[in-house]
Copies of this chain bind each other. A is one copy, B any other.
Amino acid sequence: MKQQNLAALPTLAALKDKGFRLTKIRRLIVGAFFSDTTVPVSAAELQLQLLASGTKANKTTVYRELEFLSAQGVIVEINAGDGRKRYELKRYGHHHHVLCLRCNTVECVAVENCALEEQLSGLKDFKVTGHTLNFFGLCAECR
């Protein structure tokens, strides 16, 4: 019962191949992103999850690991508009997000084929490289 989150293993192996180390915290964080919850998670939430599972990680370490995993393309940063960044596995394709204004929960919203950037007009000299579409309102529990 030691090694859960089997899906995380290829990712960890790839990181090791690139010369990075597989530390306890790194394994746990990657494992957390691969675990059941598909909800985007913030640095503080992640730190708490680690603590709950018995590992005390410094705030700086968590931030640095999130930055690292983003740079390595393992996770992506999500800015839902409230004051904190969240992260989720990059494997999910392009999609949008919904934020509850009361409990600040973020949900992912699938999107078939998003053509928002093509529909954009009136920007003569602006090179668009991406977009974020955030809906907000009240979730089931909060409405």
Contacts and interface: CB of A to CB of B under 8 A. Distances in A.
Interface of A: 79, 81, 83, 98, 100-101, 107, 109-110, 116-117, 120, 122-140, 143
| Copies per assembly | 2
The 8 A-B residue pairs with the shortest CB-CB distance, nearest first, are: A125-B140, A129-B137, A128-B137, A79-B81, A131-B135, A127-B138, A127-B137, A133-B133
Contacts of A127: 137-138, 143
Given A109-B120, A122-B110, A131 B128 contact: no
28 contacts: A79-B81, A81-B81, A83-B83, A98-B123, A98-B126, A109-B120, A109-B122, A109-B123, A116-B135, A125-B139, A125-B140, A125-B143, A126-B137, A126-B138, A126-B140, A126-B143, A127-B138, A128-B136, A129-B137, A129-B138, A130-B136, A130-B137, A131-B134, A131-B136, A132-B132, A132-B134, A133-B133, A133-B134
